[in-house]
Each structure stands twice: as C-alpha cells, then as structure tokens.
Amino acid sequence: MNPGDVIALLITVLLPTVLLIYVFRRWFSYKEKQLEVEARVTAEKAAQYATSNAELEQRVRVLEKIVTDGGAQTAAQIEALRSAPSLNPPVPARTSVVTEKTDQ
C-alpha cells in the first residue's frame, strides 16, 4: 500500500465519520434545547394549575362553611357580602327630561 492509498482511505473513512459526528452533535444539541423549552412551558402550566387549584379549594372551603354553619350566622355573612362595597360602583340611571312644545 503506498501513501496515496492510505490518504485516500483516510479521506473516504475519516471525512464521513467526522461529518456524522458533527451532524449528530448538532441534532442532540437541538433536541436538548427543545426539551428545555418544553420543560419551561410545562412548569408554567403547572404553576397556573396550582394557582387555579388553590382558588378552587378556597371556594370549596367557603361553600363547606356555608353548608355546615348555622342558618342565622350564614344569613348574616351573606348579607355582609351583599352590602360590601364593590370595585365597580353601579352607574346611575340616566333620566331624560322631555319638554312638550305647545303651539300658540
């Protein structure tokens, strides 16, 4: 085997091997970043579900309290909720004044 054959063999074997290694490293890097993004999105969704779950648990506690409390105490609490100031006060109704025109 002369040196030209060795160089040709190295080029035909080594070049495709190096190219494959480079392509697979890039592909694995891409997949890793894709998984990181997916993990972030999943974590955000989990946080949203946890918040929603906590709000629903609070509402269920209030409902359980209303169901198990005595009638007079419950009625007082409901009335207190009704009389609590709301964030959006009601807009007063507009009244229109109609003037009659008389022919003279």
Q: Copy the structure tokens of residue 78.
A: 């409901």
- In which residue are the tokens 């709000």 written? 55
CB 64 within 8 A of CB 74: no
Q: DSSP for 13-47?
A: HHHHHHHHHHHHHHHHHHHHHHHHHHHHHHHHHHH
pLDDT tens-digit series, residues 40-89: 999 999 999 999 999 999 889 888 887 777 667 777 777 888 886 655 55
* Residue 21 in tokens: 């290694």
Q: What pTM value is reported for the model?
A: 0.45
Q: pLDDT (tens digit, 9 = 90+) per residue, 15-25?
A: 899 999 999 99
> What pLDDT score does 91 carry?
54
